[in-house]
Homo-oligomer: A and B are copies of this chain.
Amino acid sequence: MDRREQPREGVFWDIQAGRVPTPPAAVTLGWEVVDVDPESGTLDLAFDAGERFLNPAGTVQGGFLAAMLDDTMGPALVATLPPGYFAPTLDLQVQFLRPARPGRILGHGEVVKRGREVCFLSGRLTDAEDRLLATGTATARIQPMETPAAAVPPTSEQRG
């Protein structure tokens, strides 16, 4: 079945089709979709790990690899959502297996289990020679896009 025959909607597909701009965080990471399969909940991406992400040792600062993993796992889930829904990450775990040199980094994300609200995700990053750089897992919660702040209820100390 050719998925292109069924035009999809939702924030991921609106970005893909150019109906809305690519989010700034994705632009900063040099985010590029390689392959997406919402039926299986998988997403393959490429990132541009430029000089701007380097630590004093000349390798990519681990935190930016974490950002790439988050921006791989999250969109793998978001690509499966109907219009008007989003899925903020609740927690993120990353293991850094190998120093990452600047250049193209490939990301693979999967929806391990999709609940009604809470979803479990996994992902990995590899370099251009297919060496594993980092692996990650995350928990995300599906919620309406209109109320992103609803992830945490307002508290008494919150100022208007």
Further 7 A-B residue pairs, CB within 8 A, beyond A24-B51, A88-B96: A23-B56, A62-B92, A63-B89, A66-B67, A66-B70, A90-B96, A131-B158
* Number of copies of this kind of chain in the complex: 2
12 sampled A-B residue pairs with Cβ under 8 A: A23-B54, A25-B53, A28-B52, A28-B53, A57-B88, A62-B70, A62-B92, A66-B70, A89-B96, A90-B96, A92-B92, A99-B152
Chain A interface size, under 10 / 10 to 19 / 20 to 34 / 35 or more: 35 or more
Q: How distant is A17 from chain B, measured CB to nearest CB, in Å?
A: 14
Whether a CB of chain B sits under 8 angstroms from the CB of A120 is no
Report whether A61 and B23 are in contact in the complex, using a CB–CB cutoff of 8 Å: yes
| Residue positions of A touching B, CB distance < 8 A | 11, 15, 20, 23-25, 27-29, 51-64, 66-71, 74, 86, 88-99, 129, 131, 145, 148-149, 151-152, 157-159
Closest chain B residue, CB of each to CB of A138: B62
Report whether A68 and B58 are in contact in the complex, using a CB–CB cutoff of 8 Å: no
A70 interface neighbour in B27, B63, B149, Cβ under 8 Å: B63
Chain B contacts of A68 at CB under 8 A? 63
Report whether B61 and A64 are in contact in the complex, using a CB–CB cutoff of 8 Å: no
Report whether A71 and B63 are in contact in the complex, using a CB–CB cutoff of 8 Å: yes
